[in-house]
Chain A
């Protein structure tokens, strides 16, 4: 049997949306050589030296984790410390990351949910909608979501919470203490990058009391964007969805755009 080429293996991984990084030597002795790297598998191909392969594979896994692509420089035998690189030709390697799409979990099958799911899809999220009420959490109401789950929050976090990372978002739109308290607790137990919780300022204040009562510390609650969204004066579900997604972007890029959490006036 003929071994599939690196391109064929790369293509198969891209099609199945598996995380994969392709490292290519773009300058140095072996321009064009390739190393195909997956998080938990032996790399495929070679950049010309086993030690270079080992170091680049390690860096590629880190780049993949951060969903980042870029150029890194090494010595021909994988040297990285400046002393080891003196009088050595430089090998520049382009690492192209293909991370799976970031996830957004939306709790609460309400009017705002459909609009938020639509905007999140435009931005490339894999969207899951969760609500314990079977009549509301239906595929028919949320055709744009990748998945609709009829469940309480805790089991979802117990089962899949470890998947969430810094690029992912949890948006809690329920306004219902039975549901939003366990959702907030579940989200705080993960490494998720963004946790937003919807509600009026009054709802927010009551919710914070209940969260404190169940043991959420003030350090934990600093991770919460509550009330959710930027201070845009958004009114409709669609405008609110934009204000939430814009807040997620601003938090990721570290830009100072006024969030509702940090202001005190009317939300609308």
Chain B
């Protein structure tokens, strides 16, 4: 989160609403550890990353849906698990759990 502060402050000063996605858990090999974060503005600007580039596109979609109220804050999972294959996978074969919410606290 620390490396996102400059972008977040700039966006907040410009009055933009922001969603933040944070890696909360990984199974198997994950490219980023818990705590890695990415921020998305309602106009679609992005800072930071939560994987090696595998799932960022899908995260932007989910973040925008949370900002426009069609989805609520919560945990989103990307990767493969035993019982289900997700549309967006990680090239390393692991699974990551992200918590995505609006930065309104």
Q: In the complex, what distance in Å separates the CA atom of A96 from the CA atom of B2?
A: 12
A14, B99: Cβ atoms closer than 8 Å? no
Contact (Cβ within 8 A) A5 B35: no
Cβ-defined contact, A15 with B5, below 8 A? yes
Residues of A within 8 A of B2 (CB): 14-15, 98
The docked-state distance in angstroms from the alpha carbon of A32 to that of B103 is 10
A240 within 8 A of B: no
The proximity string for B residues 90-103 relative to A, scoring 1 for CB distances below 8 Å and 0 otherwise, is 00000001010101
Cβ of B1 < 8 Å from any Cβ of A? yes
Tell me which residues across on chain B come within 8 A of A92, comparing CB atoms.
Answer: 75
How far is B5's CA from A51's CA once the two chains are assembled, in angstroms? 32
B1-18 vs A, CB cutoff 8 Å, 1 = contact: the mask equals 110010001000000000
Could you say which of B24, B103, B105 contacts A71, with CB atoms under 8 Å apart?
B24
Residue interface mask A24-60, B partner, CB < 8 A = 1: 1011000110100000000000000000000000000
What is the CB-to-nearest-CB distance from B87 to chain A, in angstroms, rounded to a whole number?
22
Which one, B22, B33, B105, contacts A7 given CB within 8 A? B105
Q: Is residue A128 contacting chain B, with contact meaning CB distance below 8 A? A: no
- The answer to whether residues A96 and B1 also contact, given A24-B99, A26-B24 and a CB cut-off of 8 A, is yes
Residues of chain B within 8 A (CB-CB) of A71 are 24-25, 34, 97
Give the number of A-B contacts (CB < 8 Å). 52
In the complex, the answer to whether A5 meets B105 with C-beta atoms within 8 Å is: yes
A113 within 8 Å of B by Cβ? Answer: no
Taking the closest CB of chain B, its distance from the CB of A98, in whole angstroms, is 7
| A185 to B40 CA separation, bound complex (whole angstroms) | 51
**Contact B33–A26 (Cβ < 8 Å):** no
A79 proximity list for chain B (CB < 8 A): none
In the assembled complex, the CB of B13 is this many whole angstroms from the nearest CB of chain A, namely 13
A32 touching B25, Cβ below 8 Å = no
Q: Which residues on the A side are within 8 Å of B103 (C-beta)?
A: 7
B residues less than 8 Å from A69 (CB atoms)? 33-35
The answer, yes or no, to whether A97 is at the interface (CB within 8 Å) is yes
Q: Is B54 an interface residue (CB 8 A)?
A: no
Chain B residues contacting A96 (CB-CB under 8 Å) are: 1, 22, 34-35
Is B65 among interface residues, defined by CB-CB distance under 8 A?
no
Residues of B near A34 (CB, < 8 A) are 105
CB 8 Å contact bits of A69-81 with B (1 = contact, 0 = none)? 1110000000000
Evaluate contact between A94 and B22: CB separation under 8 angstroms: yes
A6 to B103, CA, bound (A): 10
Residues of B within 8 A of A14 (CB): 1-2, 5
Is the CB of A134 closer than 8 A to any CB of chain B?
no
Residues of A within 8 A of B25 (CB): 70-71
Nearest neighbor of B98 in chain A, beta-carbon distance: A26
Whether A27 and B74, one on each chain, are in contact in the complex, defined by CB atoms closer than 8 angstroms, is yes
Residue B55, interface by CB 8 Å: no
Q: Is the CB of A31 within 8 A of B73?
A: yes
Task: Report if A176 contacts B (CB, 8 A).
Answer: no
Complex Cα distance A70/B22, Å? 11
4 extra A-B contacts, CB within 8 A, seeds A15-B5, A71-B34, A96-B22: A5-B105, A70-B25, A94-B22, A96-B1
**Can you identify 7 A-B contacts, CB atoms within 8 angstroms?**
A6-B105, A11-B5, A27-B75, A31-B72, A96-B22, A96-B34, A96-B35
